Amino acid sequence: MRNVKVIFMGTPDFSVPVLEGLIEHYDVVGVVSQPDRKVGRKQEVVFSPVKKVALQHNILVFQPEKIRVEYADILDLHPDIIVTCAYGQIIPKEILDYPKYGCINVHASLLPKLRGGAPIHKAIIDGYHKTGITIMYMDEAMDSGDIISQRATDILDSDTTEDLHDRLSVMGKELLLDTLPSIIDGTAKRIKQDESKVTYAYNIKREEEYLDFSKTSLELFNQIRGLCPFPGSSCIIDDREFKVYASRIGTFDSSSYPAGEILHIYKDGIGIATGDFELVLLDIKPFGKKRMLASSFINGIRKEDYIGKVVYGRK
């Protein structure tokens, strides 16, 4: 449908397959992404993944600091439809009301579950067994518009946020391309969200990274998977901060031991007491060092120096 003019709004890696699918099938006349940011010690300017793709295809890029007041140039392109996916700013009513086919959002959850900016992280952290992609009409509230289509995927015990992110990113592209024809020809469904079933997935806060070993082993296992690879879970071992990226739930009942006590040093990891079963840390990053398998760390320590120490979530 090369005669349909599309503006795409998105920023991170998750959005890239969606943009690439639109470029392949539609006339993408402009891309809106978050402003360039300076990162690292050298404060080098880094383009967003979406901006990089747009420039590769010679598509105009807009990067307003505040889109609620800086939108005139975007609408001057006279889009027929606007598609957003993980853009990062609230879209003003002036934009929402402009395109004849509406403003469409690709959201990484089965709405009304997990509205907000971290639906992939929270789906795993909160122990969901299923999640998916929702294509929806946008309105002024966060992720509350009418649902057009959805597609589900199971969350496996082996899934990390990275795994689920990559799977949902491709699903988002596929479902959007399957859904757009019905939006354009006027046959798309509009399903109101059930407000009684709403849950939220706000952006991850620093304090949510800390491991509280008074929780159950399953809660901690899910937290570690849900924060892998970014930002990673955190704990303090022997007065050193560690990032934790993988664990397994042991069979040893540790509920009678102080939460956080190191009970065993196994070949593959560090066994720590939780509110029920022992949790074994498998993939870690000691402060100031590279990420490594716990087995490598264990090979460099005296096991007896660690047995009985207490691991804390924070100092």
185-234 residue pLDDT tens: 999 999 999 999 999 999 999 999 999 999 999 999 999 999 999 999 99
Q: Is the pLDDT of residue 76 over 70?
A: yes
pLDDT, average across residues 70-76: 96
| Structural element, H or E, at residue 103 | strand 103-107
Contact 69, 161 (CB under 8 A): no
Task: Give pLDDT, residue 315.
Answer: 65
| Structural element, H or E, at residue 6 | strand 5-10
pLDDT, average across residues 4-30: 98
Q: Tokens 């496996």, residue?
A: 156
Amino acid in the structure at residue 189: K
Task: Give pLDDT, residue 225.
Answer: 98
151-195 residue pLDDT tens: 999 999 999 999 999 999 999 999 999 999 999 999 999 999 999
Give the residue among 206, 241, 200 at the shortest CA–CA distance from 227: 206
Helices (H) and strands (E) in the chain, counts: 8, 15
**Which strands sit side by side in the sheet containing 5-10, from one edge to the other?**
61-62, 27-32, 5-10, 81-85, 103-107, 130-137, 147-154
Amino acid in the structure at residue 280: V
Q: How many CB atoms lie within 10 A of CB 241?
A: 15
Mean pLDDT for the chain overall: 96
Provide the CA 70 distance to its chain's centre, in angstroms.
27
DSSP secondary-structure letter at 28? E
Q: Which of 15-19, 40-44, 71-75, 229-233 has the lowest mean pLDDT?
A: 40-44
Amino acid in the structure at residue 219: E
| Distance between CA atoms of residues 145 and 154, nearest Å | 24
pLDDT, average across residues 54-77: 97
DSSP string over 224-284: HHHTTTTT-EEEEETTEEEEEEEEEEEEEE-TTSPTTBEEEE-SS-EEE--SSEEEEEEEE
Q: What are phi and psi of 136, to 5 degrees?
A: -145, 155
| Distance between CA atoms of residues 115 and 223, nearest Å | 19
CA distances (Å), origin 135, targets 22, 105, 145: 14, 6, 10
pTM: 0.95
